[in-house]
Structure 1
Amino acid sequence: MSFNFEVPSALDHFQCLVGHDVAFPLLEAAASLAQEAVPELDVQDVLFQVDGLAERLRKTIPWGATAMQRHFMLNEFFYEKLGFAANANDFTDPSNSYMHHVLQTRRGIPISLAVLWMELAWGIGLKVDGISFPGHFLVKVRVDEGIIIQDPLTGRGLTQNMLSERLEPFREGWGLAEDDIAPLHMFLVPASGAEIIERMLRNLKSIYVQDGQQPLLLGVLNRLIILSPKHADNYRDRGLVLAQMGQRNDALRDLQTYVRMAQAPHDLSLIEARIELLRAAR
């Protein structure tokens, strides 16, 4: 008797990863995002490399070190010994979001560096969270002395005034008057693993839209729909990409799903017109 086993696709693997409500595998899910662009990528090798770094770090931590001491030693290890930093030459390079590439080059953007940094922090018993701050991902560290909000690009701690200044560019978009106070505490809430992955995907989406890379954009939208199946906009965006790629039936299904799910969308007439064009072309 012969058995035929179908190898799970990268998308199947992603769906299994993000289905975890408890102990969300953040690093593995983040590493898997590159599989659309690099199909041969070995995600387990990425985990193995980070485990190796974590073991090196643990060997430098003396017994009984306080959380503040461990935090200091982690920053020294990550930023000084390993040399992780911003990719100042090309912040919009999609490889800044590919964890295997960030590991190799030691260059990334705030969120990709934060994912690696947090993985190492958890490995030495630190209590840390990612913060989906507007415009720039941050990390929060809990120590005996209080809470540290840190810029993952540099390891620099940020004061309340610094954080408030970072909110200023967004004030007008929120409809705040000049004297209104932006509610800082609302932007320091810990992000879940799924929210971190979604932000990484939206970063990639923006880049792929700009570059016109439809197959890669489709892969991102597939993952966004797995993460947030109730967000109507993802179906609209995927439907439009599928239409551009000539996959009319799938495009029609997604656009119809958008019209059905969305609550009085501003672009309803445009999408309905696109649906009629797709129907006529069948």
Structure 2
Amino acid sequence: MQQILGTKSLSPKDNFARAIRCPDSEINLSAASLYAASSESPNIDVIAYQGRIAQLGKRVKAILAPQHNSYDVASAIHEILFDQAEFKGDSKNYFDPKNSHLNEVMERRKGNPVALSILYIEVARVAGIQVNGIALRKHFVVAVGTGDDKIYVDPFHKGGLLSRKECLASIFGEGNLKNSDNDELERKFLKPTSKRAIIRRLLSNLKVAHEKHKNYELALSASERIQLIDPTNLNNLSDLAHLQTKVGNFGDAVDSLTQFLERSPAGTNTEQAVTALEKLRELTAQTERKTGE
């Protein structure tokens, strides 16, 4: 990352915090995603990767007719991203952490649903087209257009089109859609995902990937960034305490678990968390005694 002469170089964590410290509509998804990845690759040239995204967007704009509908947009992006650049979902190594790093996705031309959707959204943005992220159950897609012109696209499966029914079925199961008001379900459950929620989901995928590979330090780093973008997320606060314990940061784990218990709604079953907190306090005291010997 280039540093401006006379300025202090920020840490990857500070750069990420700065990228999300603005109203949701002003967050640059590609920049925030790249800064999220910089915790593991601190020398990422964010500007250079954004330039490559801009070039893809300009290529889409060049082949898109002035008068176009959502199918024309999806077709143009499909040609550039999936036919020419050959991006695709990594089904073989789905939980490879690189699939959540936008820089690695661009180098390897493959990634997970969220990272590829971010790329799709950002390429469309450069081309002057609004595309929204759509969170499904265990999947992530994008919506091109609005109202009757809206279509759903699956970047993980090379930009394939999805019907509204297919999207809803992925959430509820196809058998549960009989006699349902799909218009109402679409409005309620296929709403555009906020940029903060998209980044949070990207980081959640990264956290899970690192945990599966037993890279607890890196999983903790992802969890810390989730905490920056969503400090009220109780599930992540619990995960944060778990990961801090895994790497031996018992004092930090005590603080995180204490916050979790203080913020948990009344009536929540916190017995397991209380027991874990007692054990952590014992471990912290033991560590302090050994340090003082």
Same fold, judged at TM 0.5 (above) = yes
Structure 2 counterpart of 1:184, one-letter code: L
SS of 1:126's equivalent in the other structure is: coil
Are positions 1:249 and 2:254 aligned together? no
Structure 2 match to 1:227: 229
Structure in which a larger fraction of residues adopt helix: 2
Q: Which moved more, 1:240-249 or 1:95-104?
A: 240-249
Structure 1 match to 2:276: 271
Structure 2 counterpart of 1:257, one-letter code: Q
Are positions 1:23 and 2:26 aligned together? yes
Q: Which runs of 4+ in 1 moved over 3 A?
A: 168-171, 178-184
Structure 1 match to 2:167: 163
Change (3 A) 1:231 1:103: same
Q: Which moved more, 1:242-251 or 1:147-156?
A: 242-251
Are positions 1:55 and 2:54 aligned together? no
* TM-score (ref. length: structure 1): 0.87
Structure 2 match to 1:82: 85
Offset of residue 265 of structure 1 = 4.0
Offset of residue 70 of structure 1 = 3.3
Offset of residue 168 of structure 1 = 4.4
Are positions 1:217 and 2:219 aligned together? yes
SS of 1:229's equivalent in the other structure is: coil
Please give the residue correspondences for 1:128-147 in structure 2 after superposition, counting only pairs within 5 Å.
128-142=131-145, 146-147=149-150
Counterpart Cα distance in 1 of 2:148 and 2:280: 58
Offset of residue 141 of structure 1 = 0.9
Counterpart Cα distance in 2 of 1:71 and 1:163: 17
Counterpart Cα distance in 2 of 1:119 and 1:151: 15
The one-character-per-residue Cα deviations of 1:173-226 (angstroms, maximum 9, x if unpaired) are: xxx8x9785973222000010000011111111111221111101111110110
SS of 1:33's equivalent in the other structure is: helix
Percent identity among equivalent residues?
A: 23
SS of 1:237's equivalent in the other structure is: helix
SS of 1:207's equivalent in the other structure is: helix
Offset of residue 169 of structure 1 = 5.2
The match for 2:198 among 196, 199, 203 is 196
Counterpart Cα distance in 1 of 2:123 and 2:36: 20
C-alpha contact (below 8 Å) 2:152/2:164 kept by paired residues = no
Unaligned runs of 5+ in 1: none
Structure 1 match to 2:108: 105
C-alpha contact (below 8 Å) 1:134/1:187 kept by paired residues = no
Counterpart Cα distance in 2 of 1:150 and 1:123: 18
Counterpart Cα distance in 1 of 2:144 and 2:113: 16
Please give the residue correspondences for 1:27-46 in structure 2 after superposition, counting only pairs within 5 Å.
27-46=30-49
How many residues of Structure 1 are paired with residues of Structure 2 in the alignment?
A: 273
* RMSD across aligned positions (CA): 2.5
Structure 1 counterpart of 2:277, one-letter code: E
